[in-house]
Amino acid sequence: MLRPVEFSHRTRAANLRELAARRFDVVVIGGGITGAGVARDAALRGLSVALLERRDFACGTSSRSSKLIHGGLRYLQQGDVGLVREAATERYAVRKLAPHLARPVQMLFPIYSRASYAKMSAGLWTYDKLASIPDVERHRMLSRDEALTLEPRLRADKLYAAGLYTEYLTDDARLVIEVIKAAAALGALPANYCEAEDFLFDNARAVGVVARDHVSGDAFEVRGRVLINAAGPWVDAVRLRGEPGDAPRLQLTKGVHLGVRTARIGLSRIVVMNARDKRGVFAIPRGAVTYLGTTDTFYDRVEDYPRVTLDDVHYLLDAANRTFAVEPALTAADVVNAWAGLRPLLAQAGKAPSELSRKDEVMVAPSGLVSVAGGKLTTFRRMAERVVDLAAEQLAAQGAAAPARRGASHAELLGSSGTGDDVPAFAASLRERWPLLAGDLIERLVTLYGSHAERIVDGIAADPLLGERFDPALPVTRAEVEYGVREEMAMTLEDFIERRSRLLLWDLQLGGSVAVGVAATMGRLLGWDDTRVRDELARHRTLAEHLTTFVADDDTAPTPGVAQAADA
Ligand code: FAD
């Protein structure tokens, strides 16, 4: 069994004290997957690392993705063989790092003509070869009848055949948190709610940042030999603070996902839908919710919660209604929740949103500031290696000695591989050991927390009070909340409900039925008074409303919620 590793508000307070007191080899700005990966890689190389995140870890794009660790079949269509090879190799690397965060899932690609069949068959064959796909995961071409047997809700009228292949499903925010915890266990000092507001210069070289602790409101200096800007959609904002005259480099595009009830759409595996503009869009079943996405449209401003427009909603529902025979057809009233993320892509003149390269790009400013943009969740490990290679060069140029390595970057994340490759078998072994504990509780904990679930389950077995549910219908317990606060630095109700437990995405009531109990438990652990508890609950309600409210396409007039979480 893994030992508990404290990573809490107390760790945060201790980290903040150290951040102000020391000079670090590397200061990372941004706690999404890019910053998390860089912090871990640098810590693995024995470097001292500070990581500053202005809100919560994974609060940006890294909690709003399609949640696929994928080999990039789409990039093959664009002729980017290098990206396919890298993504395919990295898929396995992520699976080794944390098997519960890279679950193999079948993907069904409906085909509507003989010509498309030939193209798809050749594409999947090439993909299997290029990506060295193991035998069990190789693609199969299905006849029309076979496809309909697997997914009876597919519209049969124009269906010709289908391709079936395997990709991996992850949980983006959970992946980020696991990577950050792994970095912390290697000595990195992460702090959420701590923003890099300005740069410190010495002879035009960036030598640190002025950081603000958003909990106390205090500002302090964090000094570093190499500064890495991994601020995702905010990369330009951070970069231009250090290089005011420089031109912006990013072109953001918005990607929206809609959640609908799985019972309504009735899929057993991921299906690729054909949108009205011929883009491939996924329908991804995940427990009670099936999410549809994504869109890809230019977006001209950086926001924590980009708005979902009615056009986004209609575009995705139209793709679903074209692909599936759902009676009556899906409408906006079926939408349980909707979330939008911004892709931090590099601007390329004249290209449409879906044509912009998904490759990561590293920019080094004259001040030495290293900025990273683009990239995928899937390739975070390789991207981090490249960035830290560059940081190591800068450190060597400054005369810093290279410290001894602490581990390999393909090594597991803080005991995450303790489940073994067969995650369901791990859950079954826990159910066997604790037959009196509810199966859905064990299932939930293993899905979210992998082998760490064992310790949470053992805790509940030892103290049944920890296993009490806040809502009898939902296996969310005090034990899970305590784990989030003590071992995952959850500082607010939103941190727990949105990014630790993912209730905002996968629960039909967006965590509404447990919010009061969770807030009370967090309040006890974090010392909140009644006013703070009320404020946290109000913020959760606002956020849930945001996820169920769509704006008119001119983005000015807010439209009242068309699907209320409370109705679910
Ligand atoms: P972010 O996750 O946005 O992290 C940047 C962080 O920096 C934020 O948390 C922000 O708060 C913080 N920050 C900003 N300014 C400051 C500051 N001054 N001080 C401190 N912190 C700061 N990839 C895949 O591999 N598979 C997929 O299925 C997939 N689907 C996607 C679907 C959509 C709709 C989108 C938008 C992207 C998808 N991607 C996918 C791509 C992937 O999600 C992103 O490339 C990745 O999450 C970007 O991570 P990041 O760390 O660079 O940015």
Q: What are the pLDDT tens digits along the chain (568 aa)?
A: 567 789 999 999 999 999 999 999 999 999 999 999 999 999 999 999 999 999 999 999 999 999 999 877 777 777 778 888 888 889 989 998 999 999 999 999 999 999 999 999 998 998 888 888 889 899 999 999 999 999 999 999 999 999 999 999 999 999 999 999 999 999 999 999 999 999 999 999 999 999 999 999 999 999 999 999 999 999 999 999 988 889 999 999 999 999 999 999 999 999 999 899 989 999 999 999 999 999 999 999 999 999 999 999 999 999 999 999 999 999 999 999 999 999 999 888 788 887 787 778 899 999 999 999 987 899 999 999 999 999 999 999 999 988 988 877 777 777 667 898 899 999 999 999 999 999 999 999 999 999 999 999 999 999 999 999 999 999 999 999 999 999 999 999 999 999 999 999 999 999 999 999 999 999 999 999 999 999 999 999 999 999 999 998 755 433 333 222 222 2
* Ramachandran category for residue 193: left, alpha or beta (phi over 0 → left; psi -120 to 50 → alpha): left
C-alpha of residue 233 to centroid of ligand 1, in Å: 7
C-alpha of residue 62 to centroid of ligand 1, in Å: 4
C-alpha of residue 520 to centroid of ligand 1, in Å: 31
> Which residues, 6+ apart, have CB-to-CB distance to 397 below 8 Å?
none
Question: Within a 13 Å sphere around the CA of 219, how many CA atoms are in the beta-carbon half?
Answer: 6
Pocket-testing residue among 213, 236, 357, 376, ligand 1, by greatest number of atoms within 8 A of Cβ: 376
| CB 509 within 8 Å of CB 565 | yes
Helix (H, G, I), strand (E, B) or coil at 19: helix
Note the pLDDT of residue 561: 32
C-alpha of residue 545 to centroid of ligand 1, in Å: 23
Give nearest CA residue, ligand 1 atom 38: 65
Is 29 close to ligand 1, i.e. is its CB under 6 Å away? yes
Is 375 close to ligand 1, i.e. is its CB under 6 Å away? yes
Is 30 close to ligand 1, i.e. is its CB under 6 Å away? yes
C-alpha of residue 107 to centroid of ligand 1, in Å: 24
Note the pLDDT of residue 81: 81
> Which residues, 6+ apart, have CB-to-CB distance to 329 below 8 Å?
321
Is 177 close to ligand 1, i.e. is its CB under 6 Å away? no
Place of tokens 């309909």: 148
* Tokens representing residue 555 in the block: 């983005």
What distances in angstroms separate CA 508 from CA 283, 327, 505, one per listed residue?
A: 17, 20, 8
Q: What is the pTM of this model?
A: 0.95
Pocket-testing residue among 192, 200, 234, ligand 1, by greatest number of atoms within 8 A of Cβ: 234
DSSP state of 206: E
C-alpha of residue 272 to centroid of ligand 1, in Å: 23
| CB 302 within 8 Å of CB 279 | no
Is 255 close to ligand 1, i.e. is its CB under 6 Å away? yes
192/212 Cα distance (integer angstroms): 11
Is 242 close to ligand 1, i.e. is its CB under 6 Å away? no
C-alpha of residue 562 to centroid of ligand 1, in Å: 28
C-alpha of residue 32 to centroid of ligand 1, in Å: 5
| CB 49 within 8 Å of CB 331 | no
Helix (H, G, I), strand (E, B) or coil at 257: strand
Is 358 close to ligand 1, i.e. is its CB under 6 Å away? no
* Sign of the Cα pseudo-torsion (475, 480, 482, 488, in order): negative
Is 72 close to ligand 1, i.e. is its CB under 6 Å away? no
C-alpha 141: how far from chain center:
31
Q: Which residue type occupies 277?
A: D
Q: Which residue type occupies 108?
A: L
99/169 Cα distance (integer angstroms): 10
What distances in angstroms separate CA 182 from CA 22, 39, 121, 376, one per listed residue?
A: 21, 9, 40, 19
C-alpha of residue 122 to centroid of ligand 1, in Å: 33
Helix (H, G, I), strand (E, B) or coil at 285: strand
Pocket-testing residue among 66, 284, 291, 357, ligand 1, by greatest number of atoms within 8 A of Cβ: 66
Helix (H) or strand (E) holding 40: helix 33-44
| CB 383 within 8 Å of CB 360 | yes
Is 62 close to ligand 1, i.e. is its CB under 6 Å away? yes
Is 186 close to ligand 1, i.e. is its CB under 6 Å away? no
| CB 107 within 8 Å of CB 68 | no
| CB 384 within 8 Å of CB 34 | yes
What distances in angstroms separate CA 14 from CA 17, 40, 189, 191, one per listed residue?
A: 5, 19, 9, 10
558/568 Cα distance (integer angstroms): 22
Q: How much of the chain is helix, strand and coil, in % rounded to 5?
A: 45, 25, 35
C-alpha of residue 440 to centroid of ligand 1, in Å: 31
293/281 Cα distance (integer angstroms): 5
